């Protein structure tokens, strides 16, 4: 356990660390049927006609040495690095999932509508229960960095490793199709699918099928499994990851619909992880059962013999992978700022050139508005805010100053006179939940025209009446070009009604190409500055300062 101070221990290591998996009963029944039916058919076939013959075909014939065989050095290295990056992605992904431990096939994320949850908590009625309250503890033995509400650092590791995963995949795909090795895993005949079923009948009835020497070829079921992992699971994981990007979803709203919606994409992303885990378990089990020493020599040494070299070096490689898990945990808690900066140095320039250039174009209808919208953040405790709230914020004045020609103080009525717009958009929280709402307010572009920023003003800072997770006034920043985007507004209404206390009254920023923590609630004042480095700890916001969140969360 990390030696947390009292404030951090209360967040990361709470007294309630219970874990429970609940799956919607109808889906449990469906999943059971999907398993039972093919197993039952296999047993019926075996009982009536005996075990099917597994006839050799060119792609899986161990005696056909002319076919692609052996494991070139690039296959062996890609195999190792893929194992490394996939396991690190799974570990960081589990920490991310724990921050909102519910998965849905709808974009509303209404409690009770999830198909699976990893928490014993039923959202209580009659009291304020925020999305941060709902986050769960995960053991650092399973997740990187583990504990509770460490989504900022977990995302850093996820993005670091997704680069390695994609690069490894590109190298592997390029060399696979540049050589004849592709014939080993790509089915080229319908016979392969019939042979795969015949092989399944053997496994399902607890009999090992005739096992080809994997150095020369795979059985048909192995071939299809490897094909699915490389050319289905990998691409689907990447594409569903993009379908969770607010910049992508809000610019191309039809894209997430390819997966059934943004939350369906998140669920499919999770299911691909389950697919990878299931494949690893079955794959390792069969490697052990069908000749461990020879199989390890195949993939580690590139030889077809039974010497102990492959096992020895294979265990060394596994030790390196486990060592990387330990090192990632150490870096997460010892050098989190260095980790944050390292990720920023890679992702920030890329996002400025790509995702951040996308202007939101999403439009939803009134009937799409979510019946439930997760509240989040700490309600302000300042006496000044409470007094203003009691008067329905009639006495509130928004101060806008800093590097501007015309500093102003504006009431809510003054802001409405600048120009009032309404938009129905999807909110994306860093924790994973979404919600659709109608926001009404003044475009930031109109306010900017009024105050006329000086040439030196490159960043806009939004200061809140509320407090951050570990104390201190909450604030965040936006680049000037982002607040000039068409869908960026200061919202004073939600779903046609004045903003309530829970959802950010008197004002909340809406900037639809980013995650929700950048959309400051309970705004007190706005300041135009030269750089985000001038305020706080210089990282661009309170979450960025204290929880190592991204400066520019377009994804």
Residue matched to tokens 């150490």: 330
State how far the Cα of 546 lies from the Cα of 515, in Å rounded to an integer. 17
CB-CB contact of 529 with 483 (8 Å): no
Provide the whole-model pTM: 0.94
Band of residue 68 on the pLDDT scale cut at 50, 70, 90? confident
- Render 98-165 in DSSP notation, one character per residue: HHS-EE-SSSS--TT--SEES-SPPPPSSS---HHHH---B-TTTSSS-BSS-HHHHHHHHHHHHHHH
3-state secondary structure labels for all residues of 311-343: HHHHHHHHHHHHHHHHHHHHHHHHCHHHHHHHH
Size of the chain in residues: 555
How far, CA to CA in Å, does 383 sit from each of 43, 388, 391, 465?
72, 9, 13, 10
pLDDT of residue 60: 47
CA dihedral (282, 288, 289, 292) positive or negative: positive
H or E element that contains 74: helix 73-99
Full set of structural domains in the chain with CATH: 6-334 (no CATH), 363-547 (3.90.420.10)
Encoded tokens for 530 = 């030269």
Helices (H), 354-492: 383-390, 412-418, 444-451, 480-483
**HSE value, Cβ hemisphere, 13 Å, CA-based, for 109:** 26
Both structure tokens of 437? 């709402």
> What pLDDT digit, counting tens, does each position of 176-222 carry?
999 999 998 999 888 899 999 999 999 999 998 888 888 888 889 99
Query: 509 with 461: CB under 8 angstroms?
Result: no
Kindly report the average pLDDT of the chain as a whole number.
Answer: 94
Give counts: helices (H), strands (E), the chain: 19, 13
Distances (CA, A) of 66 to 54, 58, 69, 70, 220: 21, 9, 8, 11, 18
pLDDT at 434: 98
Asked whether the predicted pLDDT for residue 64 surpasses 60, the reply is: no
CA gap 419, 53 in Å, rounded:
76
Say how far apart CA 402 and CA 89 lie, in whole Å. Answer: 42
For the range 68-72, what are the long-range contacts, defined as Cβ-Cβ under 8 Å and sequence gap of 24 or more? 68/179, 68/180, 68/181, 68/182, 68/183, 68/184, 69/215, 69/216, 69/217, 70/215, 70/216, 70/302, 70/304, 71/215, 71/298, 71/299, 71/302, 72/175, 72/179, 72/181, 72/302
pLDDT band at 58 (very low <50, low <70, confident <90, very high): very low
Measured distance CA(447)–CA(504) in Å, rounded:
19
SS3 label, residue 17: coil
Q: In whole angstroms, what is the distance from residue 279 CA to residue 287 CA?
A: 12
Low-confidence winner among 58-62, 330-334, 335-339, 345-349 (lowest mean pLDDT): 58-62
Residue tagged 């895993």 (tokens): 185
Nearest to 429 by CA among 440, 418, 437, 421: 437
Find, among 151, 84, 36, the residue nearest to 429 by Cα: 151
Tell me the three-class secondary structure of 224-277, residue by residue: HHHHHHHHHHHHHHHHHHHCCCHHHHHHCCHHHHCCCCHHHHHHHHHHHHHHHH
* Alpha-carbon distance values, 542 to 214, 254, 474, 478, 539 (Å): 54, 33, 6, 13, 8
Among the residue ranges 60-64, 332-336, 482-486, the one predicted with the least confidence is: 60-64
Report whether pLDDT(63) > 70: no
Name the band, by pLDDT with cuts 50, 70 and 90, for residue 57.
low
Would you call the peptide bond into 145 cis, given omega within 30 degrees of 0 as the criterion? yes
Between CA 326 and CA 537 the distance in angstroms is 28
Out of 203-212, 329-338, 525-534, least confident range:
203-212
Task: State the Cα torsion 25-26-30-32 to the nearest 10°.
Answer: 20
Please state whether 508 falls in left (phi above 0), alpha (psi between -120 and 50) or beta. Answer: beta
CA dihedral 257, 263, 269, 270 (to 10 degrees): -150
Cα-based angle 75, 224, 312 (whole degrees, multiple of 5): 40
Tens digits of per-residue pLDDT, 132-188?
999 999 999 999 999 999 999 999 999 999 999 999 999 999 999 999 999 989 998
CA pair distance 417, 405, nearest whole angstrom: 20
pLDDT above 70 as % of the chain: 97
Contact 38, 205 (CB under 8 A): no
């Amino acid at each position: 356990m990390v030696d947390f101070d009292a404030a951090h221990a209360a967040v990361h290591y709470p007294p309630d660390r219970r874990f429970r998996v609940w799956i919607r009963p109808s889906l449990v029944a469906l999943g059971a049927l999907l398993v039972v039916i093919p197993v039952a058919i296999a047993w019926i076939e075996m009982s009536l006609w005996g075990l099917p013959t597994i006839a050799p075909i060119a792609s899986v014939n161990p005696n056909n040495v002319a076919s692609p065989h052996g494991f070139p050095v690039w296959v062996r290295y890609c195999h190792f690095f893929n194992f490394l990056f996939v396991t690190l992605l799974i570990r960081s992904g589990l920490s991310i999932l724990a921050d909102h431990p519910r998965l849905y096939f709808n974009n509303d994320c209404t409690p009770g509508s999830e198909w699976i949850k990893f928490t014993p908590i039923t959202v209580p009625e009659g009291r304020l229960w925020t999305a941060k309250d709902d986050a769960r503890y995960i053991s650092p033995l399973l997740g990187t960095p583990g504990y509770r509400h460490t989504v900022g650092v977990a995302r850093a590791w996820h993005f670091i490793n997704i680069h390695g995963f994609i690069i490894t995949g590109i190298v592997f795909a390029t060399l696979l199709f540049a050589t004849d090795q592709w014939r080993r895993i790509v089915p080229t005949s319908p016979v392969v699918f019939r042979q795969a079923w015949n092989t399944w009948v053997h496994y399902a009835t607890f009999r090992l099928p005739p096992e080809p020497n994997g150095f020369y070829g795979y059985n048909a079921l192995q071939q299809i499994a490897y094909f699915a992992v490389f050319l289905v699971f990998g691409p689907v994981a990447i594409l569903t990851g993009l379908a969770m990007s607010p910049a992508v979803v809000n610019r191309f709203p039809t894209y997430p619909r390819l997966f059934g919606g943004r939350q369906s994409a998140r669920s499919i992303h999770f299911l691909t992880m389950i697919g990878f885990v299931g494949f690893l378990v079955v794959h390792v089990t069969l490697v052990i059962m069908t000749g461990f020493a020879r199989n390890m020599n195949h993939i580690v040494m590139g030889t077809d013999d039974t010497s102990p070299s492959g096992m020895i070096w294979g265990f060394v490689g596994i030790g390196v992978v486990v060592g990387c898990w330990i090192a990632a945990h150490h870096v997460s808690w010892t050098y989190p700022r260095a980790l944050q900066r390292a990720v920023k140095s890679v992702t920030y320039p890329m996002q400025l050139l790509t995702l951040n250039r996308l202007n939101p174009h999403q439009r939803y209808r009134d009937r799409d508005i979510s019946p439930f919208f997760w509240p989040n953040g700490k309600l302000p405790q300042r006496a000044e805010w409470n007094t203003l709230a009691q008067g329905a914020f009639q006495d509130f004045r928004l101060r806008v100053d800093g590097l501007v020609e015309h500093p102003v103080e504006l009431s809510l009525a003054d802001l409405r006179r600048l120009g009032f717009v309404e938009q129905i958009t999807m909110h994306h929280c860093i924790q994973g939940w979404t919600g659709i709402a109608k926001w009404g307010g003044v475009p930031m572009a109109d306010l900017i025209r009024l105050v006329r920023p000086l040439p030196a003003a490159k960043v806009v800072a939004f200061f809140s009446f509320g407090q951050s997770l570990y104390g201190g006034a909450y604030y965040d920043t936006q680049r000037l070009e982002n607040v000039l985007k068409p869908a960026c507004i200061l919202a004073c209404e939600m779903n046609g009604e004045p903003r309530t206390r829970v959802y950010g009254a008197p004002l909340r920023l809406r900037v639809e190409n980013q995650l929700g923590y950048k959309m400051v609630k309970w705004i007190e004042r706005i300041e135009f500055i030269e750089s985000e480095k001038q305020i706080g700890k210089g990282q661009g916001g309170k979450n960025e300062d204290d929880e190592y969140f991204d400066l520019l969360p377009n994804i």
